[in-house]
Structure 1
Amino acid sequence: MSNEYLEGNFTGVSEEVTLACPEVEGQIPSDLAGNFLRNGPNPEFTPPMPDLYHPFDGDGMLHGVEFDQGKATYRNRWIETRGLLREREEGKALWGGFNTIGKVEPPADMPMKNLANTAMVYHNKKLLALWEAGLPHEISLPDLGTVGEENFGGWNHAVSAHPKVDPVTGEMILFCYSYGQAPFVKYGVVDPKGKLVHETAIDLAGKPVMIHDMAITEHYSLIFDMPVTFSLDRVMNGGEAFDWEPENGARIGVVPRYGQGSEIKWFDVETGYIFHTFNAWEEGDEIVLQACRSERTSILVSEQTEDQLGKMRRYRLNMTSGSVSEEKVSSIPMEFSRINETMLGRETRYGYASRFHPTRGLLFSGMLKHDRKTDAIETVEFGDTQFHQEMVFAPRVNSQSEDDGYVIGFVHDETDNHAECWVVDAQKFSDGPVARVRIPIRVPYGFHANWVGA
């Protein structure tokens, strides 16, 4: 049986390289300085049950483009987790994955392999590779070498894919969701020097659920309790590990940054699922949240129906009255929502996202820029055979305003199977890329991206 996630541009690459990128259409801006980075699955060894391989299962590989004085250098490196190093010793894959729970026996002394394949966060001058069921791995820059696991001096839990770094205070706010016993969420704050300074438990008062993202404001953190549930019993009886149970409802929890779990205030919202947020901020008694929200979800199936695709929604949570308003901002299917991260947790005007391809499931065929003041959306269109995934905002050197910078991401062309890194001037968004940097090797489809300025 074939597996589409082991074919085409989902297929991993087999070597690590460092290569100059001399072939550029257009010109790399001289005021673009730093590293564009993208994480994603790239199994080094053939999975034990290839027909059941899921993209969540692959070993993490970082792909990076370093921009310096109008030139670009590409690198890719596996994240050398303890599990991957052990498999290299054995010369084969030792762990199953997302669809093989109960079907593949893992090593007795290491029941779970940290894949480090999902996302990244930059904090305390450290790049951390993230995977929702394990600790982060510190990565050196610009060479992308693996330093090792990071626990912030006492965080004994996993870290979700999207901790948030307050650009004003330097604090990092994080959480972990679990599938064991209640309470199902651990929440914490790490100080600017990388030390854990606050931890509390949050009781979801129900079934364990998947929580992929969170949001922060100047004083609060937002946690999403939405009905994608996990059940080991369901797996053992031949069902799915995750399932959609809308009867559980959906709610957004708001807790003071240094609050206890008992202080969380819950707001019931229309049943749906939030994979990714744009931003949140405070306006008087209200918290404003913008996010990509779908009517339901089935966790990365290859064929998704319209109601499984995220669309921009704006929430207003009144901390005094407890009331909620929800506004459908756009009908365009989109995900991988991003902003200028130097304004995270404060009021923003602009957001960026990737538009779903109408027939290609998990692939994207257009870049979007949203103006909150007018709700206008600008688009960068792609060719019929060009697809991309997450794009990120990179402030230009000495940036003067919120959208004074570039939107950057990898684009794959299926016509000749080559990759490019596109650089779009955010203030002239609909003009398209000012530079298309051809990458000397293929870059497989992956997950989340990040920008680390020089």
Structure 2
Amino acid sequence: MAASFVAFQVHCSAQKPPISLNSGHFKTFLSSTIFKLPLRINVLKAIKKTSVKLVDAFVDSVFEFIDQPLLPSQSNFAPIDELKEAVLVTSIDGEIPDGFPEGVYLRIGPNPLFGGLKSTKSVFGRSSHMWVEGEGMVHALYLGKGVEGNWTVCYNNRHVETETFKLEKQRNKPSFLPAAEGDSPAIVCAYLLNMLRFGQVNKYLSNTNVIEHSGKLYTIAENHLPQEIDILTLKALDMWDVNGAWNLPFTSHPKKAPGTGELVTFGISATKPYAELGVISADGKELVHRVDLKLNRCPLSHEILVTQRYNVFLDYALTVDLGRLLLGGSLIKYDKEGYARMGVMHRYGDADSIQWFEVKPNCTFHFINSFEDGDEVVIRGCRALESVIPGPDQGMNKFEWFSRKFRPIESTEGSLDAMSEDQLVFPRPYEWRLNMRTGHAWQRGIPYVQGKHFLHRSRLCP
């Protein structure tokens, strides 16, 4: 979930985005004062600067940043140095096939600043980042072929310089308080203090996926809007809000609609409206459809699917719940005894047109494919019975948890549900068939048992 890649051929040139300032709030304030313009501006700046300094002093005196532990087996989560300038790759093992196309191979993942992810401890308790957090870094391999058939390969990497990245980089120290896991009082304080100091609850990570749409490159994490990236320099350009028409985060994995080239996205929020779906034109300039799905809570749905005619999304018992947090619970909760359902709607449908299919409870972050087969919508994905996000239970050793939960499969049972507690988080290939005519849902899994694969098919709904 924390890393992705894309390979494509495009023709790009460096662009400098226009700079615009939204000053509506300031104009309203200034027009209601009796001071002259220069004095008004100076007073406002002085008040803001003093307030930020006071809050900063409080944070520095009360909160202590400490390194989150990183075992040798998790070395792939450790940060690496930033290049910013492409370097020639002089040593290549093996050979690049003759028919291999020229172009750019891109990958993205978390690369935390200041030596790695941080936790905090204070009189309010502890708070920490989830393992998928960390500033985004784009990696690029540029592959070109000379007239004599010889290959030139260059490599570059660069942090995704979002607004919050620049802010914290300028301070040259950890500044945003972790606000995802830990004691509820500490998380609530982190929310409030981050908002007071920076105007944002958390950093814009932009570390989960990299996509191309209409010849432009974007990085995404589902806590904010996509960030446009210059493919040649990897420099961050501007956030993409579809010309002001989309104000929610993007799902980390939007999908191109077959035939039209439109981009289908999905945004979630911890407050109403909890989930909205959007369809963006093939040229990326217009939001052609937007609909509130009218869910009664915020689902942490990581991906959306499309077929020739339909949009498909999974709603299950992994939720973001601010109410539970304020009452002493955890921010993100997965209830494996809860429910799961798949919603299918026509490309430009509304909430009332969604056809829901109840399926067995599961936690599926990533899907493999989706398509239509007669009356059925077929979905294939990586199904697990427990979330890979362990939750912020106080005292839990997450490294021990991951080591235990990702043990190899040892069960020889024939059913996917007859597995040990230690194997519930291990994803397995799964298929759902949703019959749009009868309303029935079928599933089948492909478990690995004693060196052989077999299919298990069971009817879920009458």
Common fold by TM > 0.5: yes
The structure-2 alpha-carbon separation of the partners of 1:235 and 1:84, relative to structure 1 and needing over 3 Å to count, comes to same
2:163 is equivalent to residue 95 of structure 1: no
Question: What does residue 111 of structure 1 align with?
Answer: 200
Gaps of 5+ in 2: 1-65, 121-126, 146-150, 391-397, 406-421, 456-462
Residue of structure 2 aligned with 1:3, choices 68, 87, 98: 68
1:160-179 to 2 correspondence within 5 Å?
A: 160-179=251-270
SS of alignment partner, residue 88 of structure 1? helix
1:191-340 to 2 correspondence within 5 Å?
A: 191-194=281-284, 195-205=286-296, 207-236=297-326, 239-299=329-389, 302=399, 303=402, 304=405, 305-331=422-448
Residue of structure 2 aligned with 1:68, choices 138, 141, 144: 144
2:105 is equivalent to residue 15 of structure 1: no
1:236, distance to aligned residue in structure 2 (A): 4.1
The letter for the 1-side match of 2:128 is L
Question: What does residue 358 of structure 1 align with?
Answer: none
Residues 123-151 of structure 1, C-alpha deviations (whole Å, 9 max, x = no match)? 11111100101100001113211111001
Structure with the higher fraction of residues in strand conformation:
1
1:323, distance to aligned residue in structure 2 (A): 0.4
Residue of structure 2 aligned with 1:123, choices 213, 225, 237: 213
Residues 75-94 of structure 1, C-alpha deviations (whole Å, 9 max, x = no match)? 10011100011112222222
In the comparison of the two structures, how many residue pairs are matched?
333
CA distance in 1, matches of 2:353, 2:448: 35
Residues 226-245 of structure 1, C-alpha deviations (whole Å, 9 max, x = no match)? 11122224334554321222
SS of alignment partner, residue 313 of structure 2? strand
Gaps of 5+ in 1: 333-369, 376-454
The letter for the 1-side match of 2:342 is I
1:167, distance to aligned residue in structure 2 (A): 4.9
1:48, distance to aligned residue in structure 2 (A): 5.4
The structure-2 alpha-carbon separation of the partners of 1:38 and 1:253, relative to structure 1 and needing over 3 Å to count, comes to same
The letter for the 1-side match of 2:226 is P
The letter for the 2-side match of 1:319 is M
Residues 287-322 of structure 1, C-alpha deviations (whole Å, 9 max, x = no match)? 111111111214165412311111111111000100
TM-score by length of structure 2 reads 0.67
Asked whether the 8 Å contact 2:251–2:304 carries over to 1, the reply is no
1:271-420 to 2 correspondence within 5 Å?
A: 271-299=361-389, 302=399, 303=402, 304=405, 305-331=422-448
Residues 416-448 of structure 1, C-alpha deviations (whole Å, 9 max, x = no match)? xxxxxxxxxxxxxxxxxxxxxxxxxxxxxxxxx
Question: What does residue 32 of structure 1 align with?
Answer: 101
Asked whether the 8 Å contact 1:294–1:311 carries over to 2, the reply is yes
The structure-2 alpha-carbon separation of the partners of 1:167 and 1:219, relative to structure 1 and needing over 3 Å to count, comes to closer
The letter for the 2-side match of 1:35 is V
The structure-2 alpha-carbon separation of the partners of 1:67 and 1:132, relative to structure 1 and needing over 3 Å to count, comes to same
CA distance in 2, matches of 1:293, 1:309: 8
1:285, distance to aligned residue in structure 2 (A): 0.8
CA distance in 1, matches of 2:82, 2:370: 40
Asked whether the 8 Å contact 2:138–2:160 carries over to 1, the reply is yes
CA distance in 2, matches of 1:187, 1:129: 19
Question: Of the two structures, which has the highest relative contact order with CA contacts closer than 8 Å and spacing of 6 or more?
Answer: 1
Residues 150-199 of structure 1, C-alpha deviations (whole Å, 9 max, x = no match)? 01121111101000013532110000112113x42100100111021110
The structure-2 alpha-carbon separation of the partners of 1:2 and 1:134, relative to structure 1 and needing over 3 Å to count, comes to closer
Asked whether the 8 Å contact 1:48–1:95 carries over to 2, the reply is no
Identity across the alignment (%) = 29
SS of alignment partner, residue 291 of structure 1? strand
Asked whether the 8 Å contact 1:313–1:328 carries over to 2, the reply is yes
The letter for the 2-side match of 1:90 is R
Asked whether the 8 Å contact 2:254–2:266 carries over to 1, the reply is yes
CA distance in 1, matches of 2:254, 2:225: 12
CA distance in 2, matches of 1:330, 1:96: 42
Question: What does residue 433 of structure 1 align with?
Answer: none
Residue of structure 1 aligned with 2:112, choices 43, 56, 66: 43
The letter for the 2-side match of 1:165 is K
Task: Point out 4+ residue stretches in structure 1 off by more than 6 angstroms.
Answer: none
Question: What does residue 133 of structure 1 align with?
Answer: 223
TM-score by length of structure 1 reads 0.68
